[in-house]
Amino acid sequence: MDDDLSEIRALVEAGDVSEVVRRLRFSAEELPLTEVARLAGWAATETGFEDLADASARVVADPLDPKALFDFGYACIERGVSALAVPVFREVLRLAPASSLVLGELVTALEDEGRHGEAVEVLERHEATLHDWPDRYLLVYNSIMSGDLERAGRNYARLSEPDDPRWLPAWARGGRMLARAESARRVAPLDWQDLRGWHFTLTGGVLGTLSPYGFVTSMNGRYAYLQDDIGGCLRGLLRLRLIIDAAGLRPRTVSLLPDRSSRILGLAAAEVLGVPAEPFTPDRPDTVVVAYSLDEVDGDVLADLWNRVPGQVLYEHATCWTDPPALSADVSTLLRQHGASPWGGKRMWFKTDGSPAQISLEDAWFEMDGFSPADRPAEDVAAEIVRADPTPDPGDGETPADPDEGLAAFVAGIRDRWLDGPRERVRASGPVLSFRFA
């Protein structure tokens, strides 16, 4: 602990705010709370976060003041450093063990850090004082996210219908997750590496492909960095066609979203699916709405896609799993943390410190294989996708085989629970873990 503290103080002297915060994320629970508050206060002052700086100063002045500790922990959550809030709220809960409010904030901090199993343990230690809403619901949710479906099912059965209508969507959402899990268990193991099964359980979407790199060591089917190519785009569309066929759907059109990347991919999808492409309208049934990345889609359009219409399938090629989009697609080709499209005028690059960046074609000194310049007509790029080689990257040879027949069988097994309910955003990664880059 002393060594960690000395090293962090040296980083303060060097003025390295980002590294101080990074180190605090990993060591906050080993350091005295006054030191955590003092260091967090310095970082907050340097970055202009006055609320966090003020709350930190109050904890340094009186580390036994529950109100000061609560405000500090709350400010940490609000400013995106929930790892620092965890030991703070543990201490406040020790001082006020009957406080449902403090318990809820501790659970929130643990959820933000993906520590769902610990959230379950904390909630169960306070079993005697749990209210159904939100406490027991949080126990259900975190049990699902930690992979304990039996515990989740037992506690969901004990939930009363919420009196407060604000909790009705959460009640319905928990039921849908558990129902999807039952369907998925018929055709998938739902173990710690079953990314497709858990992706469906949590989001209601079908994952088309798995990353062929680092499956065993760190990624379990997700990508960290991925520079996309047109062959991968075609492979995703072929998987989309397979999924639609396995579910017994017969879409009549592809709906084109207005952003350039989605229009390119939508035009290619229309060719692959053999249906006409038309501009997106919210009420069109029996259509496949195609997005390259929902992060590039206008917010008003996303609002139109929250509730589905009959026969509508929302397809997203590249889904960000560390900061998910505002809603969950019905089909995602792949899950990645960072990346760039083959035609956006940018390519992935890495700075000298190893962090990801994007570099424009004009600034690049190396040849861009498979790159489609940003000023090409969308129709030309779409035609190039349709002609591309969809052969998957063999990767490192450690990712389990993922044949078309296996995906088709999975879809056939879960189609009774697919395309059901609103397309809710799911922030958590669930029981299948992957290494992420800060």
Q: Quick check: is 9 in a domain?
A: yes
**Close Cβ partners of 165 (under 8 Å, ≥ 6 residues apart):** none
Distance CA 53, CA 414 (A): 50
- pLDDT tens, residue by residue, 146-202: 999 999 999 999 999 999 999 999 999 999 999 999 999 999 999 999 999 999 999
Helices 137-145 and 168-185 meet at what angle, rounded to 10? Answer: 30
Distance CA 395, CA 49 (A): 43
- pLDDT tens, residue by residue, 128-147: 999 999 999 999 999 999 99
Q: Quick check: is 420 in a domain?
A: no
Q: Could you give the number of structural domains in the chain?
A: 2
115 and 139 belong to one structural domain: yes
Q: To the nearest whole percent, how much of the chain has pLDDT over 70?
A: 93
Mean pLDDT of 90-107: 96
Residue 437: band (very low, low, confident or very high) from pLDDT cuts 50, 70, 90: confident
Q: Quick check: is 437 in a domain?
A: no
CATH number for the domain including 11? 1.25.40.10
- pLDDT tens, residue by residue, 14-67: 999 999 999 999 999 999 999 999 999 999 999 999 999 999 999 999 999 999
Q: Quick check: is 432 in a domain?
A: no
Residue where a domain terminates, one of 181, 208, 232: 181
Q: Provide the β-strand partners of residue 290.
A: 256, 315
**Close Cβ partners of 105 (under 8 Å, ≥ 6 residues apart):** 70, 73, 74, 77, 85, 89
Q: Quick check: is 24 in a domain?
A: yes
pLDDT score recorded for residue 359? 54
Distance CA 232, CA 192 (A): 26
346 and 216 belong to one structural domain: yes
253 and 346 belong to one structural domain: yes
Q: Quick check: is 431 in a domain?
A: no
176 and 200 belong to one structural domain: no
Q: Quick check: is 438 in a domain?
A: no
Q: Quick check: is 433 in a domain?
A: no
282 and 303 belong to one structural domain: yes
Domain that residue 70 falls in: 2-181
115 and 255 belong to one structural domain: no
256 and 168 belong to one structural domain: no
Number of other residues whose CB lies within 10 A of the CB of residue 162:
16
